Chain A
């Protein structure tokens, strides 16, 4: 029989190992799934775990996809650390994309490259606005932020659809629901020539560094963590829960909005209803798998980006649906939650016969 026994103190080894155990379990489940579909498990797994790492172009695509995941994941991690359950990063990302596109559509080919600054600022503000709604609802009305932030995702998607099917639709776009292509002046500078990787990735890494410093070296960061872990102690110390709520939500909304802006003017170059293949939701997993830690989020963001690329490859090469990506992501979170039990518990194997011996 297997028995769980509480550890006297959380295991530091397991804290690091459990994401790896979860990943191994996900790979195993994935292999079983490919086998069940009549595909060679090794070929299938190679699409998800080997192909995306091949060559400079593969790696640059990985960085491109990881950018929004890292940005959204960073903000969500700050929220979860402060015990604020924002799960609406997707909506905040969409609002960022909408606001940024609103500015980008004003640009012409004669506009200077500096138009990028107002574009990205608009993205940040758009995401902040959407998160601020959640903060107001929780702060003034005590409304559960899980539900309000999620409902706002659907509102944002409908708003986006309304714009691209309505007032912002490209009149020369053959009736496709999308805006005109943005002027060349809005293009993000490339990090590596001949790839799609742009300065967005560098911005994401800068955000990681800034967030690390904020969390570990500033008083406000300390207050957030204490408030999340021990609300009573924080109140006793005079830390304001309201201030924490607003700080993390505005941070998270701003980062998600920035991610949306970078998608719109980066790889897309126009606004379409499909700005995000669920980056804001996948970022929830990124935050957890990264242990709510800024550096961890870089790794988990890249891992989740691999799942996106793997899903696309599985679709084009094996004829499997793109939804494979979501299956892998969900599985990974499940396995991680289960594996985290090992941080606080150890498994003891107790023989049935031994009790009577």
Chain B
């Protein structure tokens, strides 16, 4: 493959877990809840998915396990922040710290275990096109699922009644409550769907992307996914774009190596994190612009009166 085509292909592949998690977090935030637990949830799902993949050899069961673990942990966050009214930042942080510890603990016997790689789909004819054919049309199915999901979430949020209700709950929980919508249950559902997507993202990392289990293997992707929702100003298509951009930045180190550029690997490993900071600063520079699409009740505790 040509080196640019290779860079594009690996950007899509590396961007997919970011896209999945960030789309999930977008749904959370549209309902008015910030989930800082993404990193811990992804780690827990990564080990659960890996263990299931090792035990069954079935990648779809692994994704299922990741989704279940993600949504169960999200439900735990939901009970704390929605019914007990705990601080959303602190609760999410607790999940990230807890998930990092517990996943390392549960995965102690899975370190160094090998997983047979799962095949990619080759879209007939298209993947045979010269130059970019293989780069675009010869990926794991989940890469295309993430793209479809972005479109689906956009349609759901802006073209369906349920999506309208979800956005209303995020904009003004008081009004939604007054209209008779169960705000807390809707938020819990949004958290669990978002958690499932974070879980699938975690399982993708350990089952498809690497594929292996290492302690702390998400390496901050949950946090980058959180930054991506802001970067995308809460729009699914921009989440996708941002995810592939960051996937590309992650992959630049291999590109540099391919070109024979001598830069220490640790300095190249900094790139995605530095890119996140720079992009976040550029996007946030104009507060009014951010606020246009930001759910108005984001991060605030809502207590229904009577």
Q: Which residues of B contact A (CB under 8 A)?
A: 36, 40, 80, 83-87, 89-91, 93-95, 97-105, 108, 215, 219-220, 223-224, 226-227, 230, 264, 266-267, 269-270, 273-274, 276-277, 280-282, 284-285, 287, 290
With known contacts A142-B284, A333-B93, A340-B86, A155–B273 Cβ distance under 8 A:
yes
Residue of chain A at shortest CB distance from B86: A337
Within 8 A of B (CB), among A317-348: 320-321, 323-331, 333-334, 337-338, 340-341, 344
CB-based contact B105/A323 at 8 Å: yes
Within 8 A of B (CB), among A296-335: 320-321, 323-331, 333-334
Q: In the complex, A142→B287 CA distance in Å?
A: 7
| Chain B residues with CB under 8 A of A324 | 101, 105
With known contacts A143-B284, A158-B269, A337–B87 Cβ distance under 8 A:
yes
CB of A166, distance to nearest CB on chain B (Å) = 6
Q: Does A20 contact B (CB under 8 A)?
A: no
CB-based contact A337/B105 at 8 Å: no
Q: Does A87 contact B (CB under 8 A)?
A: yes
Instruction: Name the prevailing secondary structure of the A interface residues.
Output: helix
Instruction: Name the prevailing secondary structure of the B interface residues.
Output: helix
With known contacts A158-B269, A333-B94, A337-B86, A326–B280 Cβ distance under 8 A:
no
Q: Identify B97's interface contact among A143, A150, A321, A333, CB under 8 A.
A: A333
Q: In the complex, A334→B99 CA distance in Å?
A: 11
Q: Does A201 contact B (CB under 8 A)?
A: no
Residue of chain A at shortest CB distance from B94: A333
CB of A151, distance to nearest CB on chain B (Å) = 4
With known contacts A147-B280, A151-B273, A165-B266, A327–B223 Cβ distance under 8 A:
no
| Chain B residues with CB under 8 A of A150 | 220, 223
CB-based contact A326/B101 at 8 Å: yes
CB-based contact A325/B98 at 8 Å: no
Q: In the complex, A281→B99 CA distance in Å?
A: 13
CB-based contact A334/B98 at 8 Å: yes
With known contacts A151-B223, A166-B264, A341-B84, A146–B273 Cβ distance under 8 A:
no
Q: Identify B284's interface contact among A141, A146, A165, CB under 8 A.
A: A141
| Chain B residues with CB under 8 A of A320 | 105
Q: In the complex, A71→B93 CA distance in Å?
A: 20
Q: Identify A155's interface contact among B86, B101, B270, B285, CB under 8 A.
A: B270
Extra contacts besides A155-B270, A162-B264, A337-B87 (12): CB < 8 Å? A147-B230, A147-B276, A147-B280, A148-B277, A148-B280, A151-B220, A154-B273, A158-B273, A330-B97, A333-B90, A333-B98, A341-B85
Q: In the complex, A355→B223 CA distance in Å?
A: 48
Q: In the complex, A281→B103 CA distance in Å?
A: 16
| Chain A residues with CB under 8 A of B282 | 141
With known contacts A154-B219, A161-B266, A162-B267, A281–B97 Cβ distance under 8 A:
yes
CB of A324, distance to nearest CB on chain B (Å) = 6
Within 8 A of B (CB), among A81-112: 85, 87
With known contacts A146-B89, A154-B220, A327–B267 Cβ distance under 8 A:
no
Residue of chain A at shortest CB distance from B230: A144
Q: In the complex, A14→B80 CA distance in Å?
A: 18
Q: Identify B280's interface contact among A143, A281, A333, CB under 8 A.
A: A143
| Chain A residues with CB under 8 A of B284 | 141-144
Across the A-B interface, the 9 shortest Cβ-Cβ residue pairs: A326-B101, A330-B98, A323-B104, A162-B266, A141-B281, A333-B94, A323-B105, A327-B101, A337-B86
